[in-house]
Amino acid sequence: MKKKTGILFFLALVCGSVSSYAQQVIPSAKFALQGRAFENAPKFHRIDTAKYSELPAAVKKLYTHAAGMFITFKSNTSKLSLRWKTVDAALGNNSTPIMSRGFDVYVKEASGWRFAGVARPDLNLAESKATLVEDMAATEKEFLIYFPLYKELLDFDLIIDDKASFVGTRQSFAKKVVIYGSSIVHGASASRPGLAYPAQLGRRLNANVINMGVSGNARMEPAVADMLSAIDSMDLLIMDCVPNSSPDEVRERTFNFVERIRRSHPQLPILLIESITRQVGNYNLKWRTRLTEQNRNFKLEYERLLQAGYKNLYYIPTDHLIGDDSEGTVDGTHPTDVGFERMLKIIGPKVEAILENSP
C-alpha cells in the first residue's frame, strides 16, 4: 500500500510539474512589426533592398538588420520566453551578444516603459531559445520587445503560459523621427537593444523613432537620400552621419544630401549632429585631425545651407556629447551605455524643442 501511494504521489508530482510548464507558442506572424520606415519591407528587414537597388551593397546588407524594430502585446503570462533564429552566430568584437543577437523586454507602467529582462542568444548556434522574465504576477501587462541590433533576424516565436491571455498591440505615436547615421546610431556599443540611443529617445518622447543607422557606411550617397525621401509623414530627420564620411565627403555631399531630401519634404525639420569627439584621438594625431576636419566641414556646409535660404535646420556641435572624461566609449569610438546616456542629455531636449515648435 505504501508503495502504491508513493507511485501515485510521484505521478502527481510529475503531472503537476508538466502542467506548470505547459506553454503556448505565438508565431511572429501574429505581431504587428513596429519601428521601421516602410510597412512593406520583407521579412524583418528595415527596407525593401530590391526596391532601392541603387544603394551600395554594404548599405543594403545592413538594412536587413532588425535594428530599432520591436513588437508590443498584452498578456497575463507569468513567464516570457523566445525561440528565434538569426542569419548566423557571428559576433562583433566590440559588442555584447545580447545587443547583437538578443532581445530585451520592457513593461508599460504609468511612468513609461520599465526594463524587465533579456533573451541571451546561443554563442555558437544561429538558433536560440531563452527566457526573458519569469515568476511574474499573473496580471495583465503590456510588453515591448526590441529586436537584435546587428543581425538579420530570420524568425521568432514567443512562448507564454498555456492558459495565458494574448493580444497583439500597436503603439500610437504623435510624432515620427528618422535617424540616419553610423554605427553609433545603429547601436554600437550599447549593452542591449533598448539602450541604443534611438530606442531610448523613442521611449523618452513617446515617439516613433526609426533607426536608419548603417554601421561604417553612412556616407550620404544620393541613393540613400532618395530612399529616405520616400519615408512618409516624417516630423524630423536627424543626420548623425559624420563619423563615417571622410572630410572631403562631408564637404562634397552634405549640401546636396539635404537639398535632395528637401525636394520631397520642403518644410521638414532636419537636425545635423557633429561626430562625437572620438577618444581614440586623445593621442592618435591622425584621428584627431580627421575628426576636426569632418566637424569643421559639416559646420561650414550647415552655414552654406542657411545662406542658401534653407529653413528649419538645426545643429548640435560635438561639445560635451560624449562627456569630458574620456570614459564614455568601449573602444575610443563607440559609446557605452554611459556614453549614450550623456548623448541623450544633449540630443533629447533639442529634439523635444524642435518637435514642440514644429506644426
Q: How far is CA 357 from CA 255, 261, 351, in A?
A: 24, 21, 10
Q: Is residue 136 located within the same domain as residue 188?
A: no
Nearest-5° angle of CA 310, CA 316, CA 319? Answer: 150
Tens of pLDDT along 153-173? 999 999 999 999 999 999 999
Q: Is residue 189 located within the same domain as residue 163?
A: no
Q: Which of 354, 274, 284, 281 is closest to 319 using CA atoms?
A: 274
Q: Is residue 184 located within the same domain as residue 272?
A: yes
Q: Is residue 127 located within the same domain as residue 234?
A: no
Q: Is residue 13 part of a domain?
A: no
Structural domains of the chain, count: 2
The 10 Å Cβ neighbour count of residue 181 is 24
Domain boundary among 129, 152, 169: 169
> What's the pLDDT score for residue 209?
98
Report d(CA 189, CA 184) in Å as an integer. Answer: 7
Q: Is residue 96 located within the same domain as residue 158?
A: yes
Nearest-5° angle of CA 343, CA 345, CA 349? Answer: 115
DSSP character string of 252-317: HHHHHHHHHHHHH-TT--EEEEPPP--GGGGT-HHHHHHHHHHHHHHHHHHHHHHHTT--SEEEE-
> What's the pLDDT score for residue 22?
87
Core vs surface per residue 344-359: b (16+ CB within 10 A) or e: bebbeeebeebbeeee
Q: Is residue 8 part of a domain?
A: no
Domain boundary among 140, 169, 198: 169
Q: Is residue 140 located within the same domain as residue 186?
A: no
Q: Is residue 205 part of a domain?
A: yes
Q: Residue 9: is its pLDDT beyond 90? A: no
Question: Would you call 86 exposed, middle or buried from its count of C-beta atoms within 10 A (0-12, 13-18, 19+)?
Answer: buried
Query: Sign of torsion, CA 7 8 10 15?
Result: positive
Tens of pLDDT along 305-316? 999 999 999 999
Q: List the domain range (segments joined by +) for residue 218.
A: 176-357
Domain boundary among 169, 197, 212: 169
pTM of the model: 0.93
> What's the pLDDT score for residue 358?
83
Q: Is residue 106 located within the same domain as residue 210?
A: no
SS3 label, residue 239: strand
**Unique residue bearing C-alpha cell 542657411:** 306
DSSP code at position 329: B
> What's the pLDDT score for residue 17?
36
**Unique residue bearing C-alpha cell 526590441:** 146
Tens of pLDDT along 324-354? 999 999 999 999 999 999 999 999 999 999 9
Tens of pLDDT along 238-291? 999 999 999 999 999 999 999 999 999 999 999 999 999 998 999 999 999 999
Q: Is residue 240 part of a domain?
A: yes
Tens of pLDDT along 107-153? 999 999 999 999 999 999 999 999 999 999 999 999 999 999 999 99
> For 185, left (φ over 0), alpha (ψ -120 to 50), or beta?
alpha
Q: Is residue 213 located within the same domain as residue 341?
A: yes
CATH assignment of the domain containing 249 = 3.40.50.1110
Q: Is residue 144 located within the same domain as residue 240?
A: no
> What's the pLDDT score for residue 21?
60
Q: Is residue 145 part of a domain?
A: yes
Tens of pLDDT along 21-80? 689 999 999 999 999 999 999 999 999 999 999 999 999 999 999 999 999 999 999 999
Q: Residue 5: is its pLDDT beyond 70? A: no
Taking all residues of the chain, what is their mean pLDDT, rounded to a whole number? 94
Q: Is residue 306 located within the same domain as residue 222?
A: yes
Q: Is residue 102 part of a domain?
A: yes
Q: Is residue 197 located within the same domain as residue 326?
A: yes
Residue count of the chain: 359
Q: Is residue 164 located within the same domain as residue 282?
A: no
Q: Is residue 16 part of a domain?
A: no
Q: What residues contact residue 20 under an 8 Å CB cut-off, 6+ apart?
A: none
The counts of H helices and E strands in the chain are 9, 14
Q: How far is CA 345 from CA 26, 147, 239, 348, 349, in A?
A: 38, 24, 18, 6, 7
> What's the pLDDT score for residue 89?
97
Tens of pLDDT along 79-105? 999 999 999 999 999 999 999 999 999
Q: Is residue 234 part of a domain?
A: yes
